[in-house]
Amino acid sequence: MKKLFISLIIIIVIIGGALIAGRFINFHRLGADTYYVKITKDPKITSGHASDGSAYTDYNYDLPGYSEDGKEKDMEFIAQKNLRKDAYLEVFWKENRGVTSYEEVKKADIPKKAAEQLN
């Protein structure tokens, strides 16, 4: 009975740890290269219907992104909303998948060489 109780506690801890990791770790950012972009133009807007019949709108962006050392790479990504003009984004890019995630950052948080390229 004691072994069963210990095994149950271990299983609960493992499942709880996995749930916490899934909640606080963005796996789309793991192993991704970081680039910085500035929203300078309006997106190309596309609309459609999902398989359940609900309507959706995508905002397609194609902007130059710059790494911490100032190297340029074309960043193509889709947002679910129209992003604010002149906003700065930290973009996460993977070789096989392209842009996997992004978040808005303050200009002061952008590395110097990337910030110089964005201005």
| Per-residue pLDDT tens over the stretch 50-70 | 899 899 999 999 999 999 998
Q: Does residue 36 contact residue 7 with C-beta atoms inside 8 Å?
A: no
| Per-residue pLDDT tens over the stretch 58-105 | 999 999 999 999 899 999 999 999 999 999 999 999 988 889 999 999
> What is the pTM (predicted TM-score) of this model?
0.75
Beta bridge partner(s), residue 55: 49
Domains and CATH numbers, the chain: 33-118 (2.40.50.480)
Q: Given this model, what pLDDT does residue 3 score?
A: 83
* Per-residue pLDDT at 35 exceeds 90: yes
Distances (CA, A) of 104 to 7, 74, 89, 107: 44, 18, 4, 10
